[in-house]
Structure 1
Amino acid sequence: MKKLIIQLTTSFCLILFLHFAASAQGAPGIIVQGTLLDSDKKPISGVTVAEVDAEGRTIRATRTDIEGNFSLKINSNKHRLSFSHISHRSMDLPIESRTTFNVALESSTRDLSDVIVISQRRIDNGMVAISEKNLTTAQARISAKDMEEMQAASIDQALQGRIAGVDITATSGDPGAGMQIRIRGTSSVNSSNDPLIVVDGMPYETQIPSDFNFGAADELGYASLLNIAPSDIREITILKDAAATAIWGSRAASGVIVITTKRGGVGKPTISYTFKGSIMKQPDAIPMLTGDQYSTLIPEAFMNSTGTALNTQTVKEFQYDPNDPYWYFNYGNNTDWIKSITQTGWTQDHNISMTGGGEKARYYASLGYFNQQGTTRGTYLSRINTRINLDYNVSDRILFRSDLSFSYTDNNRNFAENLRDIAYRKMPNMSIYEYDEFGNNSGSFFSPPGNIQGQYIGISSSSNISGTVNPLAMAKNAKNNIITQRVTPHFNLQYDIKKSVLKATFDVQFDINNTSNKNFLPQTATGRPWTEPSVNRAFNGDLDVFNVQTKSNLVYTPKLKNLDHDVLAFFSFNTYDNKVVFQEILTSNTASSVLQDPSSPSRTLSGDSRLSSSQSQTRSLGALLNGQYSYKDKYIINAGIRADGNSRFGPEHRYGLFPSASFRWRLSGEKFMENTLKYIDDLSFRASYGHSGNAPRRDYSYFSTYSTFNWTYLGMPGVYPSNMELQDLRWETIVGKNIGINLSMFKKRITMDVEFYKNTTTNMFYPGLQISSFTGFDRVDMNVGTMDNQGFEVSLNTIPYKSKNWQVDFNFNIARNVNVIREISEFYPTEKGDLTANGQYRSFMQVNNPFGSFYGFKYLGVYKDAQSTVARDGGGKPIIGPNGQTVYMKFNYPSIGYTFQPGDAMYEDINHDGNINFQDVVYLGNGNPLFTGGFGPSVSFKGQWKLTAFFNYRYKFDVVNGTKMTTTNMYTFDNQSTAVLRRWRKEGDETDIPRALYRTGYNWLGSDRYVEDASFLRFRTLTLRYTAPKKFVEKLKFKNLSGYVTVENIMTWTKYTGQDPEVTMRGSDPFRVAVDYSFTPPVKTFTVGLTASF
């Protein structure tokens, strides 16, 4: 498959390259030139000069300059030259042997005094382009030029905070990490919440298949938009409300991002080159204990727990005896493990493109190379991408388009998904490199088979690594490489059945995507004996996705005699066929780390070894009928109905109907608003209503499926039913309502869009719902409840100051989304989490509370002495037991009865019964931000200098600071942060950090001690751009030349105590909450860029 992809792409690119080269060179290479004058002998600029063949087809074309001069390279002197201009009569002349044409054109007799040409920006929703002033739905548009200075590997990174209602958060700062995109909140408990991506009118598959494994990796780590080069993008449109997304059917229930790529234009070939070079640095890490401080803490924790001193004769990591050189040199250090795995990152990004064409054929071709070295050792991303967009006018009624994009991405990640967490916890007195008995550094990583932190015991996924793993050895020697190759041919045919009235279009797109994951964990990273099966663990996974999509549109735009009326109607029929093939192999235990192929004959099958494959296929189709009517551009009505069918449903519920309707009233067009027109350009009111649907993520859920089991009979494996037949699973439906206001004032010096919306999700999917085992199954997929998202959005763009040389712009956006669960099925598991254990929170699916809510205890501080541990009633009086004895506070569950001691954590006794238990659990927060948005000014001088700043923010969202939990609990032999230096040590100490207790006590129960408001304001970018003057550029034979410097993630204002507050709810667990697991934070970046075209 991989070879086939490369061969097809190479061949196709070579053919098109030769075509463009031939077109650019011309055949005979004859050059004709001349001057166009009017009847008064004055030069005419902007005259179209075209070479036309005998059939009237335009071969090549150019336009006259300001002095009326032109020069054109022609293909044949048997053709004719055509001269045309809007205010002059057209003229055709034979070329023959002439090379100079000095022509006088007569003025047209048409009276142009009453002709007013109005240019209206059109918004492309992927189906049809509609005038921006006639939009009836909630949409937002942003030009890629607005983001071109940013050093982003994918376009979603550059969109952060720039569009109201679109909340984008980074899952990690490592190269290739994905972004979580939410348009108007979380719309589904377990279906996809990611928006549909549409590229040049066709859906672009970004969903990871349900059977995707790759070592049980978090799918958020796989950036869905990495294969689309930001330099190829012309503009982006966001469809937000249900009436706007309804045209795309069930795959668009969570919003739509419509991406339009660049295309060719009429004119000489233009070659453009852009370069971006960056240096990246991580923000300061959380300060951790040194080896000396750590060596003081551990014996104290052991003493507090057991009452006896730590025996350094047996626990030699703390012996520090020069007479025992192995332990003395290898465990007598002050190692900064975070610093050891951190490096200065860099990026280089090169893109070259060529565009041009004539009246008949136009082309855009680009080639890009992106290379990024991450700030965590062992991480990098490199990408080669190419795109060729070709437009060809077969006739005046037929247009053929072909788009071909290919990308090759090589992404290396740490084998341990969260290496930084391991580095934070690693004992700092341990050496990075092994020392011999004479104190000489051997140069080999020190990876002992075991020590007080445990030992490597094998893993079932890359995220469960702990114990003695040397973080730097893991970063440098272990491999986790993901190579993605994707080729997407897209063909479009447009036929004007009746010119400018009835148009038919047909699209077909093939999407071939191969993702290969190879990871290898060598013995040098774990230190385990060579005899163990976990040594030299190798995994290969291969995912092939093949999509075929078609779209047939019929667009009707009648030319009515009464210009007060305007009608647009279109019908669309779509098909989608998705086939996924996945195979994997996992083995281990070769004799050498050089042998990294899991199929090597010398490998053994350990307990977690596997060899498996799977195949699935999904099909869907949809039909849409949509119409829009406008009266005097004041009253605009749009209505549509979409029917969708999906193979993941049973026959009874396979098809769904999703209606939509929207309306726009342009108040500024009314007579009573005439007196305001001198300062109001446009004032419109909009309203919309629509339905959209979600399909299940799993294939074949309506079949009874069977799987093999390890048991055998007569040499044959056992077979058992593994899936219950679900014929009654229904569409998850989202009903959206939206009210909007559009305002433009002072010739667009001020523009503002305001939106109010409410989206209600019904029949929410819940996969894997636990059921009674008497059915023969333990889990089932069900429709279980209802959820609301409602809020508002405001976007403001202003030009506060404008003069001949200066212009100041300012933009601001804010959005609020409130998520509430309205209904839960009685079969739904409403809670998850064990509060009887340290480090656990309980998640509830509770009516009238938001999704992502978590619960726990209220933390009050530390019991400073024995008297403070006395239990007290609501009046503050000590509680006396039945025998007259004083009652002391207890952590009291049926299986637990722990009496709190001085120095222990203090939790609030809500019901004042002297026991901390389930009756004291309270709501602590949720990870949904109250407000999100961004703002920033820009200042330009003479159109040459431009300074732009941008800030983004998220306000009032709660994060469980998991890093703080693991680095202040003092429960194991893991390293701790310097915060524990203020821990309780003796009676009377007043502090917020409990005493150190090794493997005992309840000092780090899930409580608000670790829940923090992660609100932040980030100084996202500062850019200074210089565009060279036209005269200077022309002297260099260039068309334009500019350069810029950009600084990203300059500063973050926050009260959050973790390394970075940008934390998201990862994964697909319905009970997921926002937890900071010490992933690589967003990095500070300094970028230098250059753009030139000639």
Structure 2
Amino acid sequence: MQSLFGDDTVTYEITGNHIVLKPKPQATQKTSPPDTTTSPPEPQQHINGTVSDSNGFPLPGVNVLLKGKRQGTFSNEEGHYSIRATAVDTLMFTYVGFKRLERAVGNTPVINVTLEEDVTSLGEVVVNAGYYSVKERERTGSIVRVTAKDIEMQPVSTPLQSLQGRMAGVEVTQLSGVPGAWTRIRIRGQNSMRGDGNYPLYIIDGVPVASTELGTLSSLPTPLGLDPLNTLNLNNIESIEVLKDADATAIYGSRGANGVVLITTKKGKGADETMYDFNLYTGVGKVSNTMDMLNTEQYLEMRREAFANDGIENYPATAYDVNGTWDQNRYTDWQKELIGGTANITHLDGSVSGGSARTSFLLGGSYHKETTVFPGDFGYHKLTGNLNLNHRSKDNRFRATLSINYGVDKHKLFNNSKIISEAIWLPPNAPSLYDEHGDLRWWENSAWANPLAGQLMPQDLSSKNMVVNTVLNYNLLKDLDLKVSAGYTDMNTEDFIKEPIDSYAPIYRPSLQHRSQYRTTKRNSWIVEPQILYSKNLGKGKLDALLGTTFQKNTSETLLLVGTGYVNKDLIGNLTAADLVNVSQQDNTDYAYTAIFGRIGYNWKQKYFINLTGRRDGSSRFGPENRFGNFGAVGAAWIFSEEDFFKKSLPFINFGKLRGSYGTTGNDQIPDYGYYAIYQPYRGTGELYPSQLANPDYGWEVNKKLEMALDIGLLNDRIRTGVGWYYNRSSNQLIGYALPGITGFSSVQANMPATVRNTGWELEVYTQNIKTANFSWDTSFNITWPQNTLVKYDGIEQSSYANQYRVGKPLNIALVYEYTGIDPETGLYQVRDVNEDGRYDYDDRILTKTLGRKYYGGINNSIRYKNFQLDVLLEFVRQTGVSNQFIFNHTPGRASMASYANVSTLALNRWQAPGDGTKIQKYTTTTASNRQYTYAKNSDIAYNSDASFMRLKTLSLSYTFPGGWISKIGMKACKVYLHAQNLFTLTHYLGLDPQYPGSGITALPSLRMFTGGIQLKF
């Protein structure tokens, strides 16, 4: 008889407390005659299949048991099993480190299954660390992970939005509710003083992709552009890991200075059976918040009182709202009119997977459509396709994988970045936007522009993105593997805007021409990384070593063409029909990067772990003398719960680990060719003029990272907690060095003697509150307390940052005036003139106010009752923002051609008479009073408002149909679900969305989405 793992002809029966092994009954064995006095037993059939993990690899030793009976078997080393069962039986698959799976037999003779890792089994969960994988129990670095079940049902266009509230130390901010807008991610704070120097490294299936946003010709989506991860299919993502500390990121060298985001896509299962997966959801969305503005009666009272306060009896001819030109009884809710529409969302994706135990495949695709809340036919479309192939030789010495992800998306937008603010400021008695003929109305001889005029400037923005990765691995010797990873990315975007003259007010049209803008951007890169991997048991420990090199090159091309003088607006877009075509922008850049890297990890007795990593980087963004930099880290961990003395003294603590790391990473996120002197032709004359000064002497920014952490597991991991402290210093800052105007340049790229420190605490808690056969309740909680400080900047007083930063303060501060209250006689805001020179400038801004987050986190509850599943995620943020009364650009009562007049209902509590104890100045229309409002808006009273919020981020309810039901119609799994996103927000903040309080009322708030869907598996 073979071992349990080697022969599937062995079964067992359970007798008392003993397992009795016995050969399987053969077909030739004689059986006793049936008992004719009772109902005939269900006929048995021979059931076989393969058990594999989520990566398609076979699992040996899986226990396959007939539910409710005492017979079972084990899978062999190829993952194959064989057992006799009746059609009414249920097979139960159990294996250490994986979730139990039940599958009804029915009339299916072949049942192949894939077991899912059990995240509650700490010792078996494997996390992706990029160049290597490590068990959660044994990792020395700081890595957080989100899996497919937390990503796939969320109705978002970029995967980063699915991380909000789920990861300690990871700050994710959705900057606009327009689909596809860029999402900002900050990992443990802002390291660089340059805004564009804080991007993390994105890696998809081992291939680095550009993390910078895609700029647009229109600023409607967000002034910062579109997200480069939009073209990914969220349902094809297996997991997202974020690497935070030096131990985890140093192996990436300069590229990992601001953390690393690893996105792993799904793989074929290879279970000798073809599997079909489908997912469909559809739903609607509305803006999650609107503001309480003055109605017509309140608004007209404000305007009339403002004129009275200013001593103006006869209303100006341009005061259309109060001089009788506009209907005094008309009321329009402009937020409802301009941003109050309903966005419709539809998503469909499917995949087919299969193969054998040695060769597997997965082929999938998706379609995503989402409209906007703006008037008109605008929206977002996305089409994706993905292919994954895995193969291993019969002797397991050779393994190969191929991953291809391709996506095409299209944004149909319009060129009006002010439509959000216009929805807020527009007077409530303003006329209809359309005339009696259905055309746009141009108010009062074109004096005020129609808010929908920008919709006559349609924008088509499309992108195509392909990410290809292949990995070849060969086991040369018993303990030695050779590996080559190669990748290619290709992203092309086309941005086109039509600007017909009828999109402008009639008064301006005689001097205008039809115009168009067309911009193409191409980004492509290739990377090759040969590696040597060594793994060997040494004494009571194990040694893992890795040595590799990186060769990478990126190219980028941008071309902007402007066509003018089209004879007819129908010809706009056909550049050959333009009277004049100008090349407005043409950029071609190359970036070359090379490195050698290595890692040595050793663990002794599964208790003591040490990890050494190092990397030498070379970047073409630095001059020849400073092109290379060395970076490295050391990480260590001690699982003290494995010590005998600890097991005896504190037996209820089943797991305890102390870990720490220290190391350095670099940063080369600066423009290409910055060290060159650049000359450009002057307006087509052939003459050259200098456009950039040379400085070949600047070098790498250096980030030094220190971390200490403690992980504890209680009551057999029913309670798990991890607390960590980090201390990061970023020095040798690459920023612009201010130059005198006589040089002809404002600054030159240089290393400045400035140091930025990020430090903080992170806490993660997981509790398994209840777990029974029919009911379970799990809770996960995370919170981060970050602190950012500019600890050093020699000579900041003489730099261009003198009016932006202060040593000893965070980078996200505001330099403000000292507010002294409302003048009891004039009713106007007052601030202190520190030097008493009669002017208000930065010499008077002696106070600093810290903005941004003081702490943030999330709490998620997952409740299962039989086949029902409920998941609830709350996101919370404690932060300071701009005061509610100062998010407008004008004082209450004022109106002009460039600034509409409405304000929030807070203005009702304004100053009206001497002695009024209020914080709102009087209604007024004068420029002088608006100047006082501006001073107060830049004072300590304005930057002292609570912009904290708690948001019900996701609410999901699902039902999984029992296997016995769906097997009768040929399905393997079926789940229906309802999902709500951004359901409600608790906050004192007045603006549209407290998530980004600095934007005031210029960005569309995130949408409240309701979707319903179904997942099918055949």
TM-score under structure 1 normalisation? 0.78
Residue 1015 (1) aligns with residue 918 (2):
no
**1:361/1:393 contact within 8 Å kept:** yes
Q: Return closer, same or farther for 1:997/1:591 CA change in 2, 3 Å cut-off.
A: same
Q: Return closer, same or farther for 1:308/1:1009 CA change in 2, 3 Å cut-off.
A: farther
Q: Within 5 Å, which residues of 2 pair with 1:595-614?
A: 595-597=571-573, 599-603=575-579, 611-614=584-587
**1:283/1:1081 contact within 8 Å kept:** yes
What is the Cα deviation at residue 912 of structure 1? Answer: 9.7
Look up the equivalent residue of 2:231 and give its one-letter code: N
- The equivalent of 2:1003 in structure 1 is 1079
Give the 3-state SS of the residue equivalent to 2:250 in structure 1. helix
What is the Cα deviation at residue 41 of structure 1? Answer: 1.4
The separation in 2 between residues aligned to 1:624 and 1:375, in whole angstroms, is 49
The separation in 1 between residues aligned to 2:967 and 2:511, in whole angstroms, is 68
The separation in 1 between residues aligned to 2:679 and 2:219, in whole angstroms, is 22
Give the 3-state SS of the residue equivalent to 1:443 in structure 2. coil
What is the Cα deviation at residue 294 of structure 1? Answer: 4.2
**1:364/1:388 contact within 8 Å kept:** yes
Look up the equivalent residue of 1:339 and give its one-letter code: K
Look up the equivalent residue of 1:656 and give its one-letter code: G
Q: 2:808 aligns with which of 848, 858, 864?
A: 848
Give the 3-state SS of the residue equivalent to 1:1003 in structure 2. helix
Look up the equivalent residue of 2:458 and give its one-letter code: K
Q: 1:948 aligns with which of 854, 866, 871?
A: 871
Look up the equivalent residue of 1:1052 and give its one-letter code: T
Q: Within 5 Å, which residues of 2 pair with 1:584-733?
A: 584-588=560-564, 590-597=566-573, 599-603=575-579, 611-676=584-649, 678-710=651-683, 716-733=685-702
Q: 1:508 aligns with which of 482, 486, 493?
A: 486
- Give the aligned CA root-mean-square deviation in angstroms: 3.3
Look up the equivalent residue of 1:770 and give its one-letter code: A
Query: After superposition, what is the alpha-carbon deviation per residue over 1:471-490, rounded to whole angstroms, capped at 9, x for unaligned?
Result: 23424x32122101112222
Residue 406 (1) aligns with residue 406 (2):
yes
Residue 815 (1) aligns with residue 784 (2):
yes
Residue 760 (1) aligns with residue 729 (2):
yes
Query: After superposition, what is the alpha-carbon deviation per residue over 1:729-755, rounded to whole angstroms, capped at 9, x for unaligned?
Result: 110110000001111121211111111
What is the Cα deviation at residue 205 of structure 1? Answer: 2.2
Look up the equivalent residue of 1:1032 and give its one-letter code: W
What is the Cα deviation at residue 698 of structure 1? Answer: 0.7
Look up the equivalent residue of 1:309 and give its one-letter code: N
Q: 1:167 aligns with which of 160, 171, 195?
A: 171
The separation in 2 between residues aligned to 1:654 and 1:531, in whole angstroms, is 54
**1:797/1:810 contact within 8 Å kept:** yes
Look up the equivalent residue of 2:807 and give its one-letter code: V
Q: Within 5 Å, which residues of 2 pair with 1:389-468?
A: 389-394=388-393, 396=395, 397-435=397-435, 441-448=436-443, 468=448
> More deviation in 806-815 or 644-653?
806-815
- The equivalent of 1:156 in structure 2 is 160
What is the Cα deviation at residue 593 of structure 1? Answer: 3.4
Residue 489 (1) aligns with residue 468 (2):
yes
What is the Cα deviation at residue 428 of structure 1? Answer: 3.7
Give the 3-state SS of the residue equivalent to 2:622 in structure 1. coil
What is the Cα deviation at residue 39 of structure 1? Answer: 2.3
The separation in 2 between residues aligned to 1:1042 and 1:145, in whole angstroms, is 13
Give the 3-state SS of the residue equivalent to 1:672 in structure 2. helix
- The equivalent of 2:901 in structure 1 is 975
**1:126/1:202 contact within 8 Å kept:** no
**2:270/2:357 contact within 8 Å kept:** yes
**1:274/1:1091 contact within 8 Å kept:** yes
- The equivalent of 1:361 in structure 2 is 359
The separation in 2 between residues aligned to 1:402 and 1:953, in whole angstroms, is 40
**2:332/2:428 contact within 8 Å kept:** yes
What is the Cα deviation at residue 201 of structure 1? Answer: 1.8
Q: 1:803 aligns with which of 772, 775, 800?
A: 772
Residues paired across the two proteins, number: 917
Give the 3-state SS of the residue equivalent to 1:675 in structure 2. helix
What is the Cα deviation at residue 515 of structure 1? Answer: 0.8
The separation in 2 between residues aligned to 1:213 and 1:554, in whole angstroms, is 43
**1:540/1:598 contact within 8 Å kept:** no
What is the Cα deviation at residue 778 of structure 1? Answer: 3.3
Give the 3-state SS of the residue equivalent to 1:259 in structure 2. strand
Give the 3-state SS of the residue equivalent to 1:673 in structure 2. helix
**1:234/1:262 contact within 8 Å kept:** yes
Look up the equivalent residue of 1:653 and give its one-letter code: N
- The equivalent of 1:177 in structure 2 is 181
**2:992/2:1000 contact within 8 Å kept:** no
Residue identity (%):
24
The separation in 2 between residues aligned to 1:247 and 1:766, in whole angstroms, is 25
**2:279/2:1016 contact within 8 Å kept:** yes
What is the Cα deviation at residue 918 of structure 1? Answer: 5.6
The separation in 1 between residues aligned to 2:174 and 2:553, in whole angstroms, is 31
- The equivalent of 1:538 in structure 2 is 516
Query: After superposition, what is the alpha-carbon deviation per residue over 1:336-372, rounded to whole angstroms, capped at 9, x for unaligned?
Result: 3322212011211111011111023100111100111
- The equivalent of 1:380 in structure 2 is 379
Look up the equivalent residue of 2:822 and give its one-letter code: V
Q: Within 5 Å, which residues of 2 pair with 1:548-559?
A: 548-559=526-537
Look up the equivalent residue of 1:429 and give its one-letter code: N
- The equivalent of 1:279 in structure 2 is 284
**1:303/1:309 contact within 8 Å kept:** no
Look up the equivalent residue of 1:392 and give its one-letter code: H
**1:48/1:85 contact within 8 Å kept:** no
Residue 577 (1) aligns with residue 510 (2):
no
Q: Return closer, same or farther for 1:386/1:133 CA change in 2, 3 Å cut-off.
A: same
Give the 3-state SS of the residue equivalent to 1:369 in structure 2. strand
What is the Cα deviation at residue 301 of structure 1? Answer: 3.9
Residue 127 (1) aligns with residue 111 (2):
no
What is the Cα deviation at residue 963 of structure 1? Answer: 6.9
What is the Cα deviation at residue 956 of structure 1? Answer: 2.7
Look up the equivalent residue of 2:864 and give its one-letter code: S
Look up the equivalent residue of 1:544 and give its one-letter code: K
Q: Within 5 Å, which residues of 2 pair with 1:112-123?
A: 120-123=124-127
The separation in 2 between residues aligned to 1:918 and 1:194, in whole angstroms, is 31
What is the Cα deviation at residue 553 of structure 1? Answer: 1.5
Q: Return closer, same or farther for 1:126/1:449 CA change in 2, 3 Å cut-off.
A: farther
Look up the equivalent residue of 2:280 and give its one-letter code: F
The separation in 2 between residues aligned to 1:89 and 1:470, in whole angstroms, is 70
Query: After superposition, what is the alpha-carbon deviation per residue over 1:365-421, rounded to whole angstroms, capped at 9, x for unaligned?
Result: 111001111223354211000100011225532222211111001113341234201
Query: After superposition, what is the alpha-carbon deviation per residue over 1:1014-1055, rounded to whole angstroms, capped at 9, x for unaligned?
Result: 111112122211111111121121111111112221221212
Query: After superposition, what is the alpha-carbon deviation per residue over 1:835-880, rounded to whole angstroms, capped at 9, x for unaligned?
Result: xxxxxxx953111000021022244543232xxxxxxxxxxxxxxx
Q: Return closer, same or farther for 1:753/1:534 CA change in 2, 3 Å cut-off.
A: farther
Give the 3-state SS of the residue equivalent to 2:1004 in structure 1. coil
- The equivalent of 1:1047 in structure 2 is 980
Q: Which runs of 5+ in 1 are unaligned?
A: 1-33, 51-57, 69-82, 92-116, 321-326, 436-440, 453-467, 833-841, 866-901, 1065-1073
> More deviation in 367-376 or 770-779?
770-779
Residue 338 (1) aligns with residue 335 (2):
yes
Q: Return closer, same or farther for 1:824/1:450 CA change in 2, 3 Å cut-off.
A: farther
Residue 248 (1) aligns with residue 252 (2):
yes
Give the 3-state SS of the residue equivalent to 2:503 in structure 1. helix
The separation in 2 between residues aligned to 1:86 and 1:298, in whole angstroms, is 83
Query: After superposition, what is the alpha-carbon deviation per residue over 1:483-524, rounded to whole angstroms, capped at 9, x for unaligned?
Result: 01112222221111124x111111221111101111223334
The separation in 1 between residues aligned to 2:909 and 2:567, in whole angstroms, is 49
TM-score under structure 2 normalisation? 0.84
Q: Within 5 Å, which residues of 2 pair with 1:194-233?
A: 194-208=199-213, 214=217, 220-233=224-237
**2:424/2:1001 contact within 8 Å kept:** no
Query: After superposition, what is the alpha-carbon deviation per residue over 1:60-83, rounded to whole angstroms, capped at 9, x for unaligned?
Result: x9x998789xxxxxxxxxxxxxx9
Residue 269 (1) aligns with residue 274 (2):
yes
**1:337/1:471 contact within 8 Å kept:** no
